[in-house]
């Protein structure tokens, strides 16, 4: 597979982890209690670890971005390929959990398939990641049920979160040009094939959580093409501040 | 399966490797933890392959520095390579390592199925490292580090870390 296409394919995977991890990292010290605080930051750490492996690989393929840090910090908003779901802001805990769960189910199905990639590096990252992602999904899934099937208030907040975030789920399965090329090369995952399993699993858990799936939803997309929601600029401002202000700084 | 994953470590390097400890569980050496996948000496350079326990494990950079420092004391140059595959598993922690871990106050990982039952709260299986009781309960699936979960003993009332099974 040609280098630029592979580079783009890797970013399509890694940027999701980076941006979601950044959102979770923001909650460090602000979780509703100590245990969930630690859990969310641990999940962020796993996501950053995976991202780091992907970016290290991407940097080897790029003529412009020499290091993993360049890839992470020195791109413009339009060059980030993450889905809109992961850039949605931290509002209340239920919303954070819903965002996490809707991503975790996808991420698990995705890395499960990526393990069989013909690309040895991607396959190795996926084999490492799947063990971690299974913990994430268990954590977020448990909380979806606990809050959904909880008090009247927690149920209502959880339902609001699902109603608000559902429109971003379909984009997870959109095949970009890089996805198509990687799939043909035996390196990439066929995202459209994950869709049925995803909605089946999510529906079952939401049902158990006494939550309902929005009817006749309109789905949003654009993130994979670099067209982001208004939240993305704020995330990048935080993320890139140090490198933009003090270029090449290290510690 | 265990045979395939048997690390290739030259006997003469073992003594020094044994002195390098895991920064998060200092009673365990990197050998006890099973993160050293290869250590060979070639043309005067010690080449070491290390695998992370978790992708984002912050201890990895420290371990690489400590390895370099330990070997530089005996005048040897070290090259450390990070390898991801095959992925680390708690099965790679040595029996001696598991004993040291328990003595240090961390409950050892259960088998995969028992681990799941314990973490889902279905069954009381995790043994308190303080008093040995299995009358314990999960406080949080995530503990002080990504590899551990937080438990509490209902007999001696002490909280403790449980090293989660990873396969
Ligand atoms: Zn006890």
**Spans of all domains in chain A:** 3-245
Chain A CB within 8 Å of residue B139 CB: yes
Which domain-ending residue is among B36, B60, B92? B92
Length of chain A in terms of residues written: 251
Q: How far is the CA of B134 from the centre of ligand 1 (A)?
A: 8
pLDDT for A111 beyond 60 = yes
What does the mean pLDDT of chain A come to? Answer: 95
Q: How confident is the model over A186-233, as pLDDT tens digits?
A: 999 999 999 999 999 999 999 999 999 998 889 999 999 999 999 999
List the beta bridge partners of residue B48.
B39, B80
Residue of A nearest to B150 (CA): A35
Within 8 A of A46 by CB-CB distance, chain B residues are 54-56, 146
Residue A34 C-alpha from the chain's centroid: 24
Do B13 and B68 sit in the same domain of this protein?
yes
Interface contact B146-A127, CB threshold 8 A: no
Residue of B nearest to A53 (CA): B55
Closest by CA to A39, choosing from B144, B142, B147, is B142
Report the 3 state secondary structure along chain B: CCCCCCCEECHHHHHHHCCCECCCCCCCEHHHHCCEEEEEEECCEEEEEECCCCCCCCHHHHHHHHHHHHHHCCCCEEEEEECCCCCCCHHHCCHHHHHHHHHHCEECCCCHHHHHHHHCCCCCCCCCCCCCCCCEEEEECCCCCCCEEEEEECCCCCEEEEECCCC
- Give the global pTM: 0.91
Chain A CB within 8 Å of residue B140 CB: yes
Q: How confident is the model over B98-140, as pLDDT tens digits?
A: 999 999 999 999 998 999 888 888 889 999 999 999 999 998 8
Within 8 A of B145 by CB-CB distance, chain A residues are 42
Do B85 and B144 sit in the same domain of this protein?
no
Q: What is the ipTM of this complex?
A: 0.80
Whether B101 maps to a domain, the answer reads no
Tens of pLDDT along chain B (167 residues) come to 344 568 999 999 999 999 999 998 999 999 999 999 999 999 989 999 999 998 888 888 899 999 999 999 999 999 999 998 888 999 999 999 999 999 999 999 999 899 988 888 888 999 999 999 999 999 888 887 878 999 999 999 999 999 999 88
Closest-CA distance of chain A to residue B12, Å: 30
* Domain that residue B133 falls in: 106-163
Residue of B nearest to A134 (CA): B166
CATH of the domain at B57: 3.30.300.130
To test the contact with chain A by mutation, choose from B52, B87, B150, B159 the residue with the greatest count of A C-beta atoms within 10 A, namely: B87
Within 8 A of B144 by CB-CB distance, chain A residues are 38
Q: Report the CATH number of the A3-245 domain.
A: 1.20.1260.10
Do B152 and B83 sit in the same domain of this protein?
no
Q: How far is the CA of B33 from the centre of ligand 1 (A)?
A: 25
Within 8 A of B52 by CB-CB distance, chain A residues are 49, 128
Closest-CA distance of chain B to residue A168, Å: 27
């Amino acid at each position: 597979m040609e280098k630029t296409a592979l580079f783009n394919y890797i970013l399509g995977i890694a940027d999701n982890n980076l941006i979601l991890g950044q959102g979770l990292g923001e909650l460090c010290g602000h979780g509703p209690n100590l245990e969930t605080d630690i859990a969310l930051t641990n999940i962020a750490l796993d996501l950053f670890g995976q991202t780091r492996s992907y970016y290290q690989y991407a940097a080897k393929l790029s003529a412009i971005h020499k290091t993993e840090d360049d890839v992470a910090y020195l791109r413009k908003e339009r060059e980030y390929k993450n889905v809109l779901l992961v850039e949605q802001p931290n509002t209340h805990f239920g919303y954070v959990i819903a965002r996490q769960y809707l991503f975790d189910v996808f991420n698990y199905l995705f890395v499960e398939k990526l393990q069989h990639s013909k690309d040895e590096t991607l396959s190795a990252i996926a084999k490492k990641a799947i063990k971690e992602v299974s913990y994430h999904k268990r954590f977020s899934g448990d909380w979806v049920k606990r809050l959904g099937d909880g008090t009247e208030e927690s149920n209502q907040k959880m339902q609001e979160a699902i109603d608000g975030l559902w429109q971003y789920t379909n984009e997870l399965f959109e095949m970009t040009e890089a996805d198509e090329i990687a799939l043909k090369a035996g390196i990439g995952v066929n995202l459209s094939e994950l869709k049925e399993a995803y909605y089946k699993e999510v529906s079952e858990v939401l049902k158990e959580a006494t939550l309902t799936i929005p009817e006749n939803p309109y789905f949003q997309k654009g993130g994979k093409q670099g067209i982001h929601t208004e939240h993305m600029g704020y995330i990048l401002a935080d993320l890139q501040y140090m490198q933009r202000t003090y270029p090449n700084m290290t510690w | 399966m265990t045979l395939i994953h048997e690390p290739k470590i030259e006997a003469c390097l073992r003594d020094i490797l044994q002195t390098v400890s895991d920064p998060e569980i200092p009673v365990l050496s990197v050998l006890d933890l099973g993160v050293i996948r290869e250590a060979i000496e070639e043309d005067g350079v010690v080449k070491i392959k290390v695998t992370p326990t978790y992708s984002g494990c912050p201890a990895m950079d420290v371990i690489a520095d400590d390895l370099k420092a330990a070997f530089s004391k005996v005048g040897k140059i070290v090259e450390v390579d990070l390898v991801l595959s095959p992925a680390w598993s708690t099965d790679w922690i040595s029996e001696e390592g598991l004993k040291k871990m328990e003595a240090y106050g961390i409950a050892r990982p259960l088998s995969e199925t028992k681990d799941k039952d314990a973490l889902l709260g279905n069954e009381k299986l995790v043994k308190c490292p303080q008093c040995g009781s299995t009358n314990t309960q999960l406080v949080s699936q995530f503990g002080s580090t990504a590899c551990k979960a937080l438990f509490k003993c209902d007999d001696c009332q002490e909280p403790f870390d449980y090293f989660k099974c990873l396969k």
